[in-house]
Structure 1
């Protein structure tokens, strides 16, 4: 048997024992007065392990009694819940978030010396500080919301368990050996490609049909043909002009490849 595989099996057995002695999965959902809160951020403040709620507001996280779970989402008050023995029972756990209102400072109208001419008035206008989630210092403001594929991959990577001076992710090791990490990374790549394909269709479909003479029924086929080019990702990120030139060149190759339909 492969020595590396034997090592992983022994390591997994050890980590499973350690996690059972220390922490186990707590299953729960996050709700407000209406229903589940999607993509709320859940962090175990003791283990520093975090996750996000799914479309139904559900999540799972490794925890033990007396751990503190911090749950936050934009538009809600950040809440901290103490894990109790009852949370590991058979009943369904629910944590409720309370919506919060942010009051803006009072605005006072002052006299000004504007003349009504853009050329001169623009020099006398002072800009005000933009008000948004970041300037209001909301929890995790500015962080990008994960896509479904990214969230699944994030969950599969799991939290870390201390071993000596290092820390190892139990979920990551198990899911790596089972092949789940590889599958989820492929799923994420497919999702990323689909986003690019949709953007190309929305942006360049008129060019593709009217200027490059690709049949409307072949637009998706043509775009996927373009994505198979080894330089596609580089060109995709290099601007509109390069993409237009690229699509024009690829249209000629596409029509030659399907010459029966493009005589």
Structure 2
């Protein structure tokens, strides 16, 4: 009797543990042709997300009654509530259906168009756009400078307070003085640091959970790892290629980081 009571107590404890602690749910996302790569999988309760690999497989920490969302461009978004049947199975299979687009009805009105683009384009009435560029305001359309960029521009003579004639041209007095004093060089370093910190903050905000949970980089080493990635000469190019390229880059760099 005592053994049975102890057995039931252990089972009950495991039950409570499984309901309160998240474990990895393994799954595969496919369409009618096979596994789908780079499908975004997110736990709506924890906001933790991941992507499927080349074969459509993924793993994500969940607990009972969590809600998962599967989304991929060109496919219907799928919502899933985690129930007991998804635990204990090595791999769960999920199917995504392609999105069907329905075009709105278009009513055609009588017109005097001739069917020739060069002639018809002159007959189409265009609404007048009013903005800083059409009004020809100063600096319209120019990018807003950061504090470091503004200081550097001013030091290089952006405000042009004094000009010196030089071989038929002119050179800003600010540029000459600040170049000799070393201020230009210092401000360029500050600008580079500002851009680096902005990129590092962006990676932390977007990929922190992925780096810690999927790449197994400890929280104490998070910034050290991101700085390690940012020092790579390919970092800026990868950053401009988009989120998927950055995830693959981080995965590769994590292997190098762990080998150091």
Give the TM-score normalised by structure 2.
0.48
Higher CA-based Rg: 2
